């Protein structure tokens, strides 16, 4: 499996993040304004994942809250999936959350998103509840958490 480097994204990376997020999410994208708004939002950190010296292939956006953390978004370019980038990003978020004192990390996921569900379960997340009609599609969200 490819070794990935994970680094913090900077405001100067905004265009790269927007393109990557759109590539990963397609019509479920937050849009350029939504993505750009993540930079500088309170407690929010954006991580990029790449091979040494190469363009990022994936990103994660998470937020530190008092005593806990929330994964806001994670995505990998479609042609780079199943290579370990998503797992590397998720591990980095879990580590970073632990370093700032989070005791748990929470997320929402569409239960029909098999890849994401498998990624989270593999990393030790467990279902804690449901949120009705959470997505634009009208689908419910599954709430998941992991103790850090
Ligand atoms: C979810 C996503 C980030 C996973 O990224 P990835 O780089 O492909 O994930 P990895 O290669 O690190 O996979 C790690 C584990 O997740 C699981 N997994 C990932 N994709 C999977 C798939 N399509 N089917 C089943 N399991 C999958 C596997 O357990 C995998 O481990 P394995 O390869 O050893 O079997 C990626 O599919 C993606 O960007 N999807 C679109 C955006 C999205 O839906 N984000 C989540 C929103 S909640």
pLDDT tens readout for residues 12-44: 999 999 999 999 999 999 998 899 899 989 999
81 Cα to the center of ligand 1, angstroms:
7
Q: Distance between CA atoms of 55 and 65, rounded to whole angstroms?
A: 30
State the pLDDT at residue 7.
96
Does residue 76 have its Cβ closer than 6 Å to ligand 1? yes
Strands (E), 1-77: 5-8, 44-50, 58-65, 68-76
Q: Does the pLDDT value for residue 2 go beyond 70? A: no
pTM: 0.96
Does residue 24 have its Cβ closer than 6 Å to ligand 1? yes
State the pLDDT at residue 120.
98
Closest listed residue to residue 124, CA positions, set 71, 79, 83, 80: 71
- Which two tokens mark 107? 């997320």
Residue identifier of the C-alpha nearest atom 22 of ligand 1: 115
93 Cα to the center of ligand 1, angstroms:
15
Q: Which atom of ligand 1 is nearest to the CA of 110?
A: 48
Q: How many CB atoms lie within 10 A of CB 113?
A: 15
Q: What confidence tens digit (pLDDT) does each residue in 92-134 have?
A: 999 999 999 999 999 999 999 999 999 999 999 999 999 999 9
Residue identifier of the C-alpha nearest atom 3 of ligand 1: 75
Burial of 39 (0-12, 13-18, 19+ CB in 10 A): middle
Q: How confident is the model at residue 55 (pLDDT cuts 50, 70, 90)?
A: very high
State the pLDDT at residue 1.
57
3 state SS of 142: strand
- Domains in the chain, start-ordered, CATH in brackets? 5-105 (3.40.630.30)
Q: Distance between CA atoms of 111 and 40, rounded to whole angstroms?
A: 30
Q: Distance between CA atoms of 144 and 65, rounded to whole angstroms?
A: 16
Does residue 84 have its Cβ closer than 6 Å to ligand 1? yes
For a substitution probing ligand 1, which of 72, 82, 93, 113 has the most ligand atoms within 8 Å of its CB?
A: 82
Q: Does the pLDDT value for residue 53 go beyond 80? A: no
């Amino acid at each position: 499996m490819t070794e990935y480097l994970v680094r913090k994204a900077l405001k100067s990376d905004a265009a790269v993040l927007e393109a990557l997020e759109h590539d990963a999410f397609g019509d479920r994208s937050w849009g350029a304004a939504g993505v750009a708004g993540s930079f500088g939002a309170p407690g929010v950190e954006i991580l990029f994942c790449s091979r040494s010296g190469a363009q990022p292939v994936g990103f994660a956006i998470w937020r530190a809250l008092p005593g806990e953390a929330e994964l806001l978004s994670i995505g990998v370019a479609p042609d780079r999936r199943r290579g370990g980038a998503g797992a590397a990003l998720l591990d980095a978020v879990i580590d970073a959350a632990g370093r700032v004192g989070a005791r748990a990390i929470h997320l929402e996921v569409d239960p029909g998103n098999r890849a994401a569900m498998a990624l989270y379960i593999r990393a030790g997340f467990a279902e804690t509840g449901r949120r009705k009609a959470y997505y634009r599609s009208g689908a419910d969200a599954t709430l998941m958490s992991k103790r850090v």
